Structure 1
Amino acid sequence: MKIEQFYDKGLAHASYAIISEGQMALVDPARDPQPYYDFAKDHNAGIVAVFETHPHADFVSSHLEIAKNTGATIYVSKLLGADYEHKSFDNGDEIKLGAVTLRALNTPGHSPDSVTILLLDENGKQHAAFTGDALFVGDVGRPDLRENVGNMTAKREELARQMYQTTNNVFKKLDEEVLVYPAHGAGSLCGKNLSSDTYSTIGREKSTNYALQDRSEDDFVKTLLEDQPFIPKYFGHDVTMNKAGAVGFEESIKAVPRLANDATLEEGVLVVDTRPQAQFKKGHLPNSINIQEGGKFETWLGSIVGPTEKFYLIAENETVLDSVIRKSAKIGYEGNIKGALLTPAILPETSAETDLEDFRTNPDNYTIVDIRNTGEVKAGKIFENAITIPLPELRERKNEIPQDKPLMIHCAAGYRSAAGQSILEQEFSVPVYDLSDAITSFSVVAR
């Protein structure tokens, strides 16, 4: 038996391959199936099963594409109401994979249709649990993502109470040495306290995970619901896509229109400019938002831009352009791209240059806008008089910001504030400045 974890740092997403006697099963595969095909070939194994622990909100899965290409059977809970061909996999159901057994455990709480796959070794002993978004290292899945989407919708408190039952009646009753293989690690927005460790054991989680400690149901529900991170705009969209099954990855990439850098773009259509902020500030197209290519590009794209919104995509070179198209596809946004192109020669718009010394001397002459997340602000404001609007809400709430003074935008390190400046400068008559990475020199002094 062999277990392999595939980890996507950008989405903090873990997927798994299990091989026994030449048969291979996948758990929660990412949008690009090629790494799994390569792994199967390298180990002379055939992919015979694909498990979806639930319809994921934060990435698009390749389960349907893999099944079509390999003949593998997709296993999901009957509660999911999947639109694609599949076999139901619920409490007590088992399948043999070579010499090992995979058993279904219904583990609702993050979603009503969550399933954990319990791996029993050749001797029938509990070996590992593939927990999806139900149990993480240091956390459990947030219960507030399925109130309006999916075949089964559920209110957050209802799901939180289901999670209480799941932790006590399922996870705590597993053998302590069972390995815990979750679908996410630190950086994921599917929970609030995920460890940077990508696997654990049931025994460790029972000792250290706040959600597996003994407490009343009401206290558990209150603790689980408070201080959850923001919900990106694309999450509901991806639940729907995963319930239906996505088209092939490479096929969808090739369908993205590639434009010459001097192409005439349709007026009024959003432009997502992925170049470094220094380049963007020196020149960009009208109606542009600066979402820089980086480790979390896809998360911020899906947080700022709505799932039905068309946009052009600009990058500084072909390598970056290909990368951001693929990252867009990981969250199901490749169909939103009206055209992808390299940097145009004519860039008529510029961003206001920040006079840092003037701001240090005369901060009251500016309206300060803090676009960090709610949890970050709760931990401490950097400027007491700042208006606080999280970046994912900035486009919708910009009218809450007065225009009687120049604006100074800040986040925690400078990446988000570049996007914030580009959003507000399009429509405000007063200058909009970006404090950028200089914010780090204010943090300790101003708290």
Structure 2
Amino acid sequence: MIIQQFYDKGLAHGSYALIRTGKMIVVDPARDPQPYYDFASQHSADIVGVIETHPHADFVSSHLEIHETTGAVIYTSKLTGAEYPHETFDDGDVIQLNDIKLQAINTPGHSPDSICILIEDEDGKETALFTGDTLFVGDVGRPDLRESVGNITAKKEELARQMYHSTRDKLMKLPHSVIVYPAHGPGSLCGKNMSPDLQSTIGRELRENYALQLMDELQFVKILTTDQPFVPKYFGGDVMLNKKGAPGFKAGVDAVQKVANDAELEQDILVVDTRPKIDFRNGHVKGSINLQDGEKFETWLGSIIGPDEQFYLIGADDAELDKMIAKAAKIGYEKNIKAALLEPVNGFEIVPDLDLNDFVHHTEDFTIIDVRNNNETSEGLIFKSAITIPLPELRERISEIPTDKPIVVHCAAGYRSAAAVSIVGGQVTNVPVYDLGEAVMGIEASAHS
């Protein structure tokens, strides 16, 4: 038996291939199915099944494309209300993969339709568990993403109660040696306390996972519904797309129109410029948003830009542009791209340089905007006078920013502030808008020394 994890750092997403004697099943596949095809070919295996542990909110799955390409059967809970061809896979159902068994366990909590998959090896031993978004290393799935989307909706408190019983009545009773293979790792917004490790065991989680410690149901519900991270704008749309089944990855990417860098851009359509911030600062299209390539590009794209908003996509070169289109497609946003292009010739706007010494010694002369997340700012502000507006909310809350003094924007390390200063600077024109950038780290270190 071979179990292979495919891990995407950009979305902190783990998918899996399980092979036994020439047959392969894929669990929670990413948007691009090619890595699974390549792995199957390397091992001379046929892909015979795809299992969806639930309709994912944070990425688009290729389950339908794999089915249409290979004929593999898609398995998912009957509660999903799947609109694609599938076989239901719920409590008591078993997939026989030659001499090993895959058994469904209904584990509502993260979503009403969540399942886990227990693997029984050729000797009849329970050896592994694909946990989807139910159980992570050091955490369990957040319960607040299905209050208004999906085939079945439920309030977060109800789902938290269901998670309490899914963990206590089912998962925590499994042998301690069972290996846990979750669908997400650190950085995912599907939980709040994930370990850097990408797999674990039931025994380790019983010892170390805060959510599996001794507590009553009310305590558990309170803990699980408190201090969860923000919900990106695209999450609800991806749940519905995954419930329906997404179109093919390559076809979607290839359909994105590319235009010359001197093309005239429509004034009322957003521009997302993915070039490094130094290039953006030296010249960009007025009003464009500097969302640089990085490990979390997909999450920030889907947090700042709405699922129905069109945008132009700008890249540094042809290879970079292709990469960014593919990243947008991982969350289903390739359909939002009006056109893609390289650095436009009409990019005359610049971002002014901040006199850091003047700012540090006269912070009272500036309006300071802290765009970190609420859980970060609740632990303390770097500048006491700062106005806190998380980056995902900034476009909608520009009117809250006073414009009687120059504006300085900061985050924790410089990535988010580059995006934020482009958003604010595109709307505020009567005072300069500065990016504190990476300098904030030195200022924060000095404040705590």
Please indicate the TM-score interval, normalised by the length of the shorter structure: over 0.9
| 1:373-392 per-position Cα deviation (integer Å, ceiling 9, x unaligned) | 01111122111111001000
SS of equivalent to 2:104: strand
Residue 432 of structure 1 is matched in structure 2 by 433
SS of equivalent to 2:91: coil
Query: Which aligned segments of 4 or more residues in structure 1 are displaced greater than 4 angstroms?
Result: none
- TM-score of the two chains, using structure 1 as the length reference: 0.99
Deviation at 1:306, TM superposition (A): 0.4
Residue 59 of structure 1 is matched in structure 2 by 59
Alpha carbons 1:139, 1:192 under 8 Å: kept: yes
User: Within 5 Å, which residues of 2 pair with 1:324-363?
Assistant: 324-363=324-363
Alpha carbons 1:22, 1:98 under 8 Å: kept: no
Q: Distance in 1 between matches of 2:168 and 2:399?
A: 46
Q: Distance in 1 between matches of 2:114 and 2:372?
A: 31
Further displaced range: 394-403 or 203-212 = 394-403
Alpha carbons 2:287, 2:425 under 8 Å: kept: no
Alpha carbons 1:268, 1:287 under 8 Å: kept: no
| 1:351-407 per-position Cα deviation (integer Å, ceiling 9, x unaligned) | 122111110111000011000001111122111111001000000111111111111
User: Within 5 Å, which residues of 2 pair with 1:7-406?
Assistant: 7-406=7-406
Q: Distance in 1 between matches of 2:257 and 2:421?
A: 28
Gapped regions of structure 1 (runs ≥ 5) = none
Deviation at 1:228, TM superposition (A): 0.6
Aligned residues: 447
| 1:37-95 per-position Cα deviation (integer Å, ceiling 9, x unaligned) | 01001101100010000000000000000001001000000000001010000001001
Further displaced range: 434-443 or 341-350 = 341-350
SS of equivalent to 1:95: strand
- Residue type of the alignment partner of 1:81: G
Q: Distance in 2 between matches of 1:368 and 1:229?
A: 23
SS of equivalent to 2:378: helix
Q: Distance in 2 between matches of 1:293 and 1:444?
A: 26
- Residue type of the alignment partner of 2:373: N
| 1:391-444 per-position Cα deviation (integer Å, ceiling 9, x unaligned) | 000001111111111111000000100100000011112211110000001113
Q: Distance in 2 between matches of 1:236 and 1:394?
A: 20
Q: Distance in 2 between matches of 1:276 and 1:128?
A: 42
Deviation at 1:446, TM superposition (A): 3.2
- Residue type of the alignment partner of 1:433: Y
Alpha carbons 1:102, 1:118 under 8 Å: kept: yes
Q: Distance in 2 between matches of 1:87 and 1:287?
A: 48
Q: Distance in 2 between matches of 1:439 and 1:51?
A: 45
Deviation at 1:345, TM superposition (A): 2.2
Gapped regions of structure 2 (runs ≥ 5) = none
- Residue type of the alignment partner of 2:356: L
Matched-pair identity in % = 62
Q: Distance in 1 between matches of 2:367 and 2:350?
A: 21
- TM-score of the two chains, using structure 2 as the length reference: 0.99
Deviation at 1:287, TM superposition (A): 2.1
SS of equivalent to 2:4: strand
Q: Distance in 1 between matches of 2:131 and 2:371?
A: 33
- Residue type of the alignment partner of 1:434: D
Alpha carbons 1:67, 1:74 under 8 Å: kept: yes
SS of equivalent to 1:319: helix
- Residue type of the alignment partner of 2:149: V
Give the alignment's Cα RMSD to 1 decimal. Answer: 0.8
Q: Distance in 1 between matches of 2:415 and 2:427?
A: 21
Q: Distance in 1 between matches of 2:55 and 2:426?
A: 37
SS of equivalent to 1:436: coil
Alpha carbons 2:287, 2:427 under 8 Å: kept: no
Matched, 1:446 2:428: no
| 1:94-117 per-position Cα deviation (integer Å, ceiling 9, x unaligned) | 010121000000011000000001
SS of equivalent to 2:426: coil
Deviation at 1:268, TM superposition (A): 1.5
- Residue type of the alignment partner of 2:103: R
Alpha carbons 1:172, 1:202 under 8 Å: kept: yes
Alpha carbons 2:394, 2:420 under 8 Å: kept: yes
Q: Distance in 2 between matches of 1:347 and 1:57?
A: 35
